[in-house]
């Protein structure tokens, strides 16, 4: 019972993070595009929309357990990209807090990798993953 509860809480946290991230993007798409542009990426508004829908997909998979391991691996890669692109070494000099944001991404990546390996919990999965 305790294992099942812990897995469910972890999935709610994982999914909730991506629900919040997508919600903030949808609520402020122009601001998100501006942040993407400030990192030097082309087509920032298009990338903001793609990111928001990608995060919705991750949230659905992590919350429902459908393709859970695959989604957790994609999420880990995505979070690594975000850490490097938006909080990487080029940003540390101007704002030391960016280093903390950078490091925080790796704790999330570690949890996602652990989740990818161990899966969504047998009693909690809608569909088993292929990994």
Identify whether 57 is part of a domain.
yes
Range of the domain at 91: 2-118
pLDDT in tens, 55-108: 999 999 999 999 999 999 999 999 999 999 999 888 888 788 989 999 999 999
Mean pLDDT of the chain: 91
Higher pLDDT, 112 or 3: 112
Length of the chain: 131
Helix (H) or strand (E) run with residue 11 in it: helix 2-27
Identify whether 123 is part of a domain.
no
Q: What is the mean pLDDT of residues 110-116?
A: 96
Identify whether 125 is part of a domain.
no
Of 95, 73, 72, 81, nearest in space to 50 by CA = 81
Identify whether 6 is part of a domain.
yes
pLDDT confidence band for 34 (50 / 70 / 90): very high
Identify whether 131 is part of a domain.
no
Q: Could you give the number of structural domains in the chain?
A: 1
Give Cβ neighbours of residue 74 (< 8 Å, ≥ 6 apart): 58
Identify whether 10 is part of a domain.
yes
């Amino acid at each position: 019972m305790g294992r099942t509860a812990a897995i469910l809480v972890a999935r709610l946290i994982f999914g909730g993070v991506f629900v919040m991230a997508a919600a903030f993007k949808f609520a402020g798409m122009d601001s998100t595009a501006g942040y993407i542009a400030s990192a030097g990426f082309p087509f920032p508004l298009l990338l903001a929309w793609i990111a928001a829908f990608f995060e919705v997909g991750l949230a659905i998979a992590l919350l429902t357990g459908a393709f859970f391991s695959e989604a957790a691996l994609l999420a880990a890669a995505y979070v690594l990209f975000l850490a490097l692109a938006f909080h990487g070494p080029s940003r540390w000099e101007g704002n030391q807090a960016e280093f903390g944001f950078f490091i925080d991404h790796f704790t999330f990546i570690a949890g996602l990798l652990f989740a990818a390996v161990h899966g969504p919990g047998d009693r909690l999965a809608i569909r088993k993953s292929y990994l």
